[in-house]
Structure 1
Amino acid sequence: MTADIPIVVIGLMGAGKTSVSRLLGEALGRPVRDSDEYLQQRYGATAAEIAAGDGAEVLHAREAAHLREALAERPAPVIAAAASVLDDPRSRAELKPALVVWLDATPEFLAEKIKARSHRPRFGKEPLALASELHERRAASFAEVADLRFQRPEMSKHEVARAVLDHLKASAT
């Protein structure tokens, strides 16, 4: 794994993408590109605010734009990508050259995280119902693109980052 290949951390909201991406970016000396930060900086709004004001389609298009822009950057960043990007076949295809790390988590774990942070869109659903629906809808797409898969919270964010770093070290030899 060379430094010119992006690392993309995927998973449903609340799985720990931002934290794991930051740990990896720090360890590797790479920039980190986070979908939530991108939305706030580019549009002055959280994902929840964009979904409520402009709709889910606009939110998801902006999240896909973030992924495309980040994948094109050099040096290659670590990218915390929104799960919605996997709904788009073009975005899934654009992930092929990247190392894709899937943070899988139970809907119960994710629901607690969704409740805890107001920036996460709920699309008019209770957190557990939303997490269950999204997990069911996107699991196959995650599996299609993921090079590595880790179960959260069985593995801590630090353990996940260490496992990814170990994988990179082993693949470099």
Structure 2
Amino acid sequence: MLQSANPQSSTIDRPIVLVGLMGVGKSTVGRRLAARLRLPFVDADQAIEEAAGMTIADIFERYGEAQFRDGERRVIARLMDGRPKVIATGGGAFINDATRALILAEATAIWLDAPTRVLAERVRRRDTRPLLRGKDAHDVLIDLAKIRNPIYALAPIHVASQQAPHEATVTAILKALGR
């Protein structure tokens, strides 16, 4: 929640959590947003890898998606400690009912959105995403968007991720936050 005595001096009193499909820029934009707000940044995927002692791809391969999502929920719950920070989540985190309820209750959720063709172009650059292994990225993203976008839309703030420098998206978020 944002509190302000006047619009020019608003303070952030809870975490800001970025949600959205893979490739939308949650981590990159999140780092820059945190820097602009002078807040700590946490990438939930990195926190999961540190907690598990293995990569997300290895967790998926060894234990499956359901086990990964359970660990993801526990890590995000730990990160939601009430202190202001910017948290970038994995694409599926907000889809989990318990994780979503926690984020909506204890943070300011921001849905970063972009067209699937743009996302497919971005994610093809890295071969580390388990849901894309051996599949066409654009087809997978279209299917995921059909399922996930109505759930992401539950986030109170919706910002389009620009096909421009990341600073444009950061500026759009700051404007949506009234900063």
Q: Scaled by the length of structure 1, what TM-score is found?
A: 0.86
Change (3 A) 1:109 1:48: farther
Change (3 A) 1:114 1:48: farther
For 1:107-150, what per-residue CA distance to the aligned partner results, in whole angstroms no more than 9, with x for missing partners?
Answer: 22222222211222225532122111111110111001x22212
Letter in 2 for 1:78: V
> Which segment is superposed worse, 106-115 or 150-159?
150-159
Work out whether residues 14 and 82 of structure 2, in 8 Å CA contact, stay in contact via their aligned partners in 1: no
Work out whether residues 48 and 121 of structure 1, in 8 Å CA contact, stay in contact via their aligned partners in 2: yes
Task: Report what 2:99 is aligned to.
Answer: 91
Work out whether residues 48 and 122 of structure 1, in 8 Å CA contact, stay in contact via their aligned partners in 2: no
Q: How much does 1:21 deviate? A: 0.7
Quick one: distance in 1 between partners of 2:131 and 2:65? Answer: 10
Letter in 2 for 1:20: V
Task: Report what 1:80 is aligned to.
Answer: 88
Task: Report what 2:54 is aligned to.
Answer: 45
Task: Report what 2:151 is aligned to.
Answer: 141
SS of the residue corresponding to residue 93 of structure 2 reads helix
Q: How much does 1:25 deviate? A: 1.0
Quick one: distance in 2 between partners of 1:62 and 1:134? Answer: 21
Aligned pairs, how many?
Answer: 168
Quick one: distance in 2 between partners of 1:39 and 1:164? Answer: 25
Q: 2:22 aligns with which of 13, 31, 41?
A: 13
Quick one: distance in 1 between partners of 2:101 and 2:51? Answer: 25
- 5+ residue gaps, structure 1: none
Is it true that 1:131 corresponds to 2:141 in the alignment? yes
More helix by share: 1
Quick one: distance in 2 between partners of 1:149 and 1:117? Answer: 26
The alignment-based identity, stated in percent, is 29
Work out whether residues 34 and 79 of structure 1, in 8 Å CA contact, stay in contact via their aligned partners in 2: yes
Change (3 A) 1:90 1:53: same
Quick one: distance in 2 between partners of 1:132 and 1:10? Answer: 17
Work out whether residues 10 and 101 of structure 1, in 8 Å CA contact, stay in contact via their aligned partners in 2: yes
Counting only pairs closer than 5 Å after superposition, residues 105-116 of structure 1 correspond to structure 2 as: 105-116=114-125
| Max Rg structure | 2
Quick one: distance in 2 between partners of 1:110 and 1:140? Answer: 17
